Amino acid sequence: MTFSDIFKTSFLNNVASVSILDMLLAMVLAFAVGLFIFFIYKKTYSGVMYSSSFGVTLIALTLVTTLVILAVTSNVVLSLGMVGALSIVRFRTAIKEPLDIAFLFWAIAAGIVLAAGLIPLAVIGSVIIGVIILIFANRRSGVNPYIVVIRCADSASEKAAVEYLARKTRKCQIKSKTARKGEIEVNLEIRLAEDNTDFINELSDMEGVESAVLVSYNGDYMG
């Protein structure tokens, strides 16, 4: 056995299984597609607390998936080992927004398709998905709802406050009511007739009304 035979191992033979040009092209395209996914996520996010780290995760997930699939497609034996290794991975992070799951699968799918060499499918498919999400994600039918929280001293002031809101708004509906000794708290969903919230000031000045709070409601609702 010569000195050169010692280094003729299967490990070193895999060094040139993927060319440098293929690596650079795949990773650059993965970064571009991941950046596009991050842009769509940022434009369509409608939750309460925006997480910039999740957007960066989408870019990183596209790159990592591309890297893994490049390795898998270059070696059949490695692909079997990779399946066994990834099967033990468990993710414990809670997904708060249902649309976030679609973005995660989008990033993974884009990385897989890019690493497989199907560049037109990855690029054109991502553009189509992004346009569809932009159109439908933030689409709202009707007027944005608001929640009004009123604290009243008795039932008479509660009735007067609800009737006042019904006159000043397009829609007024009681969502919940809490009654305690000497205090009644009512939560109402309203739709504004116009972009004027001065009625809350007048409502808080009514006799028997201790406080009135107007809160924008960004959750899902039926128009």
- Summarised one tens digit per residue, pLDDT across range 118-168 is 889 989 999 999 999 888 876 655 567 888 889 888 888 888 888 888 888
Contact indicator for 111, 153 with CB cutoff of 8 Å: no
DSSP E strands, the chain: 145-152, 169-180, 183-192, 209-216
pLDDT of residue 127: 92
Mean pLDDT computed over every residue of the chain: 78
pLDDT of residue 31: 93
Is the predicted pLDDT of residue 180 greater than 50, yes or no?
A: yes
Rounded to 5 degrees, φ, ψ at 45 are: -70, 130
Q: Out of 3.80.30.20, 3.20.20.70, 3.30.70.260, 2.40.50.100, which CATH number does the structure's domain 145-216 have? A: 3.30.70.260
Mean pLDDT of 106-111: 90
The backbone region for 142, taken as left when phi is positive above 0, alpha when psi lies in -120 to 50, beta otherwise, is left
pLDDT of residue 9: 52
Show me where the domains of the chain are located.
Answer: 3-136, 145-216
Whole-angstrom distance, CA of residue 33 vs CA of residue 158 = 55
pLDDT of residue 222: 43
**102 or 95, which is more confident:** 102
Quote the tokens at residue 191. 């739709």
Is the predicted pLDDT of residue 2 greater than 60, yes or no?
A: no
- Summarised one tens digit per residue, pLDDT across range 18-72 is 677 878 888 899 999 999 999 998 888 776 666 778 888 889 989 988 888 887 7
State what percent of residues in the chain have pLDDT above 90.
11
Look at 4-8, 52-56, 72-76 and tell me which has the smallest mean pLDDT.
4-8
Look at 69-83, 122-136, 202-216 and tell me which has the smallest mean pLDDT.
69-83
